């Protein structure tokens, strides 16, 4: 989205903010990009409850950066292959389990 600066020049809204100011809300595509996954995979993670639901402002979906960060930190770490086949394997998260079913 663009707005007009005082001198009449068109400027993107994001360019109006200081470059070192981190956003606290992002779009679906930006949220997926932060996680290095596709938007469709992000949608699946939201549906499965692994990633948070968006907040809504006048019909726009906006994801909270802190909630994304907390959801990412709650994802399990990859488990190394067990040396003993009888050893219990760690269960997947809700997102992985939803993909299997």
What is the per-residue pLDDT across 72-82, written as a single tens digit (0 to 9) for each? 999 999 885 55
Predicted pLDDT at 81: 57
Average pLDDT over residues 37-46: 98
Say whether pLDDT at 34 is over 80: yes
At 66, list the tokens.
Answer: 């802190």
Whole-angstrom CA distances from 40 to 7, 43, 46, 49 are 41, 5, 10, 14
Average pLDDT over residues 61-74: 97
């Amino acid at each position: 989205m663009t707005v007009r600066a005082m001198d009449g020049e068109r400027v993107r809204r994001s360019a109006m903010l200081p470059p070192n100011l981190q956003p606290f809300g992002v779009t679906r595509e930006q949220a997926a990009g932060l996680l290095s996954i596709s938007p469709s995979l992000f949608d699946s993670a939201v549906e499965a409850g692994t990633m948070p639901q968006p907040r809504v402002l006048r019909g726009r979906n906006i994801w909270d950066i802190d909630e994304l960060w907390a959801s990412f930190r709650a994802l399990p770490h990859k488990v190394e292959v067990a040396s003993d086949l009888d050893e219990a394997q760690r269960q997947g998260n809700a997102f992985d389990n939803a993909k299997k079913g």
